[in-house]
Amino acid sequence: MSDNIQTKESQEAILNDLRSRVSGELTVDSSIADVLDFGHNLFPHGQEQPSSFDPFTILADARAGKQMRCVEHSLLAVSLLIAYGVPARIIAGLALDPDVPGEFAGHVFAEYWDAEQNKWVMTDAQWGITPQQADKGLSALELREAFDRGQQVNFVRYNHVRDDARKGDYREWIGPYLYIFDTPGVLPVERTVSHAQHVSLFRMSLPRNEAAADQYKGTRSSNLSTVNPAEFYSSPKETKYD
């Protein structure tokens, strides 16, 4: 059996363990907004890294006062959503770093499956924001398309947003990271995910991003890539167990 695949029973045991560690704050009746709000407010944004890259360590380090990055905010949010029955995935939004030729700048956020809308919805656990139009959540791709069309987008804050996450213009800040989307398939948390969709790379087929996307794809060992939005945004599928 692959190191990245566990049995359903062992995955459920891990998720039960994660739920037990937040049982004082979240319950089976907690809403998606409650789960996201809880994870967002566990720690302020900073540049510290967890001693181990998994949701249990991030929880412990946050409670010990560490100030961690967008990566940890997103990994924890996705882990908690999945633990409470909501399909979710980490998204790394990438752009060429204008200051370092050949290097990529990135920001990590998340998408979760909204069963009522029957679609993926983007959420940024670091900023405490979910983008919407007409009271409907947007995926990362839909947000990029709305920007390209010059449309108004509402950035809905979580219930209780930290003061440090209120600073800055999110629309201007997030824009450059919405052309190349990577859903990492090697993160430790994804060993506990029974609903994750493991697509390694997605790029929008726009001329100004073709070279950047091809360059990035060349750095990946996986061939799980697509330029098809329908493929990247298909409904969540159960992990296959060997």
Instruction: Round to whole Å and give the CA distance between 164 and 202.
Output: 31
Side-chain-side CA neighbours of residue 238 (13 Å): 6
Q: Where does 8-232 sit in CATH, by number?
A: 3.10.620
Tokens for 108, please give them: 């990590």
> For residue range 46-75, what is the model confidence (pLDDT) as tens digits?
999 998 888 999 999 999 999 999 999 999
The pLDDT-based confidence of 10 (bands split at 50, 70, 90) is: confident
Q: What are phi and psi of 41, to 5 degrees?
A: -90, 0
> For residue range 83-133, what is the model confidence (pLDDT) as tens digits?
999 989 888 887 766 566 666 778 999 999 999 999 999 999 999 999 999
- pTM of the predicted structure, to 2 decimals: 0.82
* More confident of the two residues 196 and 52: 52
Instruction: Round to whole Å and give the CA distance between 75 and 79.
Output: 6
Q: Kind of pairing, strands 225-226 and 201-203?
A: parallel
> For residue range 20-29, what is the model confidence (pLDDT) as tens digits?
999 999 999 9
Tokens for 75, please give them: 């990994």
The domain ranges of the chain are 8-232
> For residue range 75-95, what is the model confidence (pLDDT) as tens digits?
999 999 999 999 898 888 877
In this prediction, residue 7 carries a pLDDT of: 61
